[in-house]
Structure 1
């Protein structure tokens, strides 16, 4: 009995260890999926931001740029001095300056960073403006574009904060040549890219809430499995011990019956032996009576016959 109980106890332990390992694997896998999901969501936002930037950039290029009032914030672009009528004046005397797509994009980037924390940067391995020089991450991305890739993304830290950094290759279009023709750009060439950096804080809030849900659900299910399996094991062990107890009683009863049967057989043999002895004694007594009677008859006959 002890051996079988020990066997089932070992089997139950293996089952519990297996369940724990299964839940750990499930938790790690779901954690990986959630992390990947957060990464993809941030990448989708970054890509959407890039597409938006590309659209108004194309719109501005389609119109050859946009004239806007000269202000402290919007000064004439010194890199467009070769363009005729870079600066014009209305009949009322208002001074206007031409904003090319890149200039417009930079101002939109500044507003996006100020209001939403999303950073944007137009860059190239051969920038016109020094401010457009790529950082190390952007330089790596631009090198992959030269190898045929169209986009590049990863999670990086900027000023101690986590960002989804995304960069897409920028192809030279016909509208780009008005400003970039002097650099020898040709339509269809990849001459730079737009990088977008999306703050990950809001995504990590979502991720952390999902992690809490994952931990809670896994622990709850694990506890339920533990309790159900524990009580099932206890019940099984009780039934097993009960079965062994019944078997032991049956075995003891069989042994007792066998012993009683042996005693009965022994008594029966003893009774038979005693009965045989009594029969022999009876036969001897009868023989003795017969001989005695025969003797007396003979004596009586001799007495009556002189």
Structure 2
């Protein structure tokens, strides 16, 4: 998942959570407002009904003309009176007025209410569970009670408050044992909330629509800005980092953006690359000088043996020339000595050519050569060092391979000198070559003193040596390791104290040409 997608997902999640929280809070606030409105509406209605009941009670009830829809109240002692003209009037007490007003309110859908009592005179006024619980708690001092219940039409806000006996109420209720201030019953009011729930749902739907639109608009704007100001610039910087140092790596940026954090990072990367290029160039020069110095040090160790190799044929040549001068007329002698002179001179020429090849300073260049033959030439140079050492060459490479000749010479000589120095009392040295799939394996095995385990991981460090001062530079194995790496190879070491060490050098059998540090060299070809 790239940075842009992560950013979009994170921002979208934050916006969704924010709008979700806003929707939740808004819905709760609307619900609280509706509940408060229903509560206040119920309280106002309760007070209005109390005033209406008080007015009816103070006037000893209402008398209405008896008609088909106006029936007598069977629970009143004097439920009707007849006028002199024969008109019948039926009496309406506060309870009857309250019930008839509730029926009007219920038909209008506004709300409904009723009188209830724990000891009802009219069975219709028998309380339900909510009302019974409320009236029991009124006796304990509770002033009012409300609750939200569900109905087929939706939520209903229920409100109930006590009805206290007034002086004017005793006309009817004194016979039931009530006194002024007693709780005669309660007024139960129900306010439907379905209309409010519809409004809340509509508001929530509107908020969701605007939220989705806002999220899309903000997301698109953020994607555009993020791509322009962050993602695209970081992507260019990332590609430049991946390309460094093998391909062009400059990072272009909008001029007006160079002063922000990413702009400063891009400028810093460019400066860092310049410093790294300079440091790499200086390091390459230093390493090349160190490699050449180590090669010359190795060459110095060969000097004594080379002098011996040259002095032997040179002495014979001088004797032949002296004899030929003493007997200038002896053609038979001249005929016999001239081939000997030719052979001795060619021997000296061969030795000097090997020295020149070994000491030549040149860039890493690959060509197809006979690896086994190069190894034999190296051990010919080292032949004088094998006085008490038995050399066993088991060379089994039958083809020519693409190898840097000078690097291979230095690797073999350095490794062989290291093995020889590890056998001061003599021993045996076995050198073998073989092909293993796409690799060339060169093994150098000695029977020397071995390498201490605690220094095994340091033997390839530059200038690390266990020899006495003046006996070694500490660069031999470091140079060997570096050259092997440059050719795409590896070096493994196995050692056992008192039994010897084995250096296993693995090199690619195939190479391809690449450009590195300003020079054309060959590096391992992948896939082989």
- C-alpha deviations, 1:53-111, integer Å up to 9, x for none? 22211111121111111233333322221x5xx53222322111221111111111112
Equivalent residue for 1:34, pick from 30, 35, 39: 30
The separation in 2 between residues aligned to 1:225 and 1:188, in whole angstroms, is 65
Instruction: Write the mapping of 1:225-244 to structure 2, written as runs, cut at 5 A.
Output: 225-234=218-227, 235-242=229-236
1:127 positional shift: 1.0
| Correspondence 1:65 to 2:61 | yes
Between the aligned partners of 1:167 and 1:186, the Cα distance in structure 2 is 22
1:169 aligns with 2:165: no
In 2: Cα distance, 1:176 partner to 1:22 partner = 58
How many Å separate the matches in 1 of 2:280 and 2:129? 96
Q: Deviations over 1:98-146 (max 9, x none)?
A: 2111111111111221233622211011111111111122212222222
Provide the rounded CA distance (Å) in 2 between the counterparts of 1:53 and 1:231.
Answer: 64
Q: Which moved more, 1:151-160 or 1:104-113?
A: 151-160
Which of 110, 114, 117 is the aligned partner of 1:124?
117
The structure-2 alpha-carbon separation of the partners of 1:262 and 1:120, relative to structure 1 and needing over 3 Å to count, comes to closer
Q: Residue 70 of structure 2 aligns with which residue?
A: 74
Contact 2:166 2:180 survives alignment (8 Å): yes
The alpha carbon displacement at 1:49 in A equals 2.8
CA contact (8 A) 2:12 2:215 kept: no
Please say if residues 157 and 191 of structure 2, whose CA atoms lie closer than 8 Å, have aligned partners that are also in contact.
yes
8 A contact 1:42–1:203 mirrored in 2: no
Asked whether the 8 Å contact 2:64–2:90 carries over to 1, the reply is yes
1:262 deviates by 8.5
Q: What is residue 16 of structure 2 aligned with on the other side? A: 20
Larger Rg belongs to = 2
Q: Please list, as runs of the form range in 1=range in 2, the aligned pairs for 1:40-55 lying within 5 A after superposition.
A: 40-55=36-51
Q: Distance in 2 between matches of 1:41 and 1:114?
A: 21
Q: Is the contact between residue 34 and residue 210 of structure 1 (CA under 8 Å) also seen in structure 2?
A: no
In structure 1, C-alpha distance between the alignment counterparts of 2:158 and 2:16, rounded to whole Å: 37
CA distance in 1, matches of 2:108, 2:21: 41
Q: Does the C-alpha gap of structure 1 residues 223 and 145 become closer, same or farther in structure 2, counting only changes over 3 Å?
A: farther
Moved more, 248-257 or 72-81: 248-257
CA distance in 2, matches of 1:102, 1:262: 108
Cα shift readout 1:19-41 (whole Å, capped 9, x = no counterpart): 43333222222222222222223
Distance 1:107 1:257, change over 3 A: same
Spell out the pairing of 1:240-251 with structure 2 (5 A cutoff): 240-242=234-236, 245=240, 246=251, 247=266, 248-251=269-272
Contact 1:60 1:100 in 2 (8 A): yes
Within a 5 Å distance, the mapping from 1:1-306 to structure 2 comes to 14=10, 16-81=12-77, 86-116=79-109, 118-158=111-151, 161-234=154-227, 235-242=229-236, 245=240, 246=251, 247=266, 248-256=269-277
Distance 1:199 1:49 in 2: 14
3-state DSSP of counterpart to 2:68: coil
Tell me the distance in 1 between the aligned counterparts of 2:179 and 2:92: 22
Residue 229 of structure 1: how far off its partner (Å): 3.2
Q: Classify the secondary structure of the residue corresponding to 2:75.
A: helix
- Quickly say closer, same or farther: Cα 1:254–1:105, change in 2 above 3 A: same
User: What is the total number of aligned residue pairs between the two structures?
Assistant: 259
Query: Is this contact kept in 2: 1:69–1:94, CA < 8 A?
Result: yes
Q: Distance in 2 between matches of 1:264 and 1:76?
A: 123
SS of aligned partner of 2:184: strand
Paired with 1:36 and 1:203, the residues of 2 have a C-alpha distance of 11
1:27 and 1:218 in contact (8 A); partners too:
no
Determine if contact 2:153/2:194 at 8 Å carries over to the other structure.
no
Query: What do you get for the CA RMSD once the two structures are aligned?
Result: 3.2
Query: Per residue, is there more helix in 1 or in 2?
Result: 1
Shift of 1:9: 7.7
Alpha-carbon spacing, 1:238–1:49, altered in 2? closer, same or farther (3 Å): same
Higher alpha-carbon deviation: 189-198 or 47-56: 47-56
The structure whose RCO (Cα within 8 Å, separation 6+) is larger is 1
Gap regions ≥5 residues in structure 2? 241-250, 252-265, 287-528
Cα distance between partner residues in 2 of 1:51 and 1:214: 37
